[in-house]
Amino acid sequence: MTVGASADDALMAAARRGDDAAFDMLVRRHSTKMYRVAYRILADSAEAEDAVQEAWVSAWRSLGRFRGDSAPTTWLYRVVTNAALATLRRRKPTVPLSPNDELIPDRATADPEDQVVRSEEAARVHRAIATLEPSQRVPLVLRELEGLSYEEIAEMLDVPVTALRARLHRARVTLLARLKEM
């Protein structure tokens, strides 16, 4: 167990006992990660901010139901993923055409031409990911962009690991096809 994980466990335990400061610390520690997940699922910054806010409200209300079967971070990823999926269900399907500011390459790259090419490639990949069905997009974002393990994602989405691997395979195949089309 890492130091961060043990700190999260302690913060979650304190928050469950009603310690507002502990919950506030969880919010400060994890809001950026949760926003990144929501943004990559929704491809809209305003909707991602709303989903994160909704996720924190839901997490606060659900603290008593957190059993500790998973890490607090896994639980929080699940809460924000559910909030983002709820947002997707409420809106009409669209494909964003604006580039993802978070995927702009490192400014330290020496060659400006390389920066432009990398930025365009990142935007193209982001647009392709945004066209995937949520059942494919969510696990792909959590695995490939957030680096979560198969087991964590399977637990979060409440599916067997074998079903998750199949979804990820289909998502990767579909993503490659969409990238070829672009």
Q: Which domains does the chain have, with CATH numbers?
A: 1-95 (1.10.1740.10)
Convert the pLDDT of each residue in 110-168 to its tens digit: 577 777 778 788 788 888 888 888 889 999 998 988 888 899 899 888 899 999 999 99
- Residue 166 one-letter amino acid: A
CA dist 73 and 82 (Å) reads 14
Helix, strand, coil percentages, rounded to 5, for the chain: 75, 0, 25
Q: Full-prediction pTM beyond 0.95?
A: no
Among 129, 111, 108, smallest CA distance to 177 is for: 129
CA dist 16 and 11 (Å) reads 9
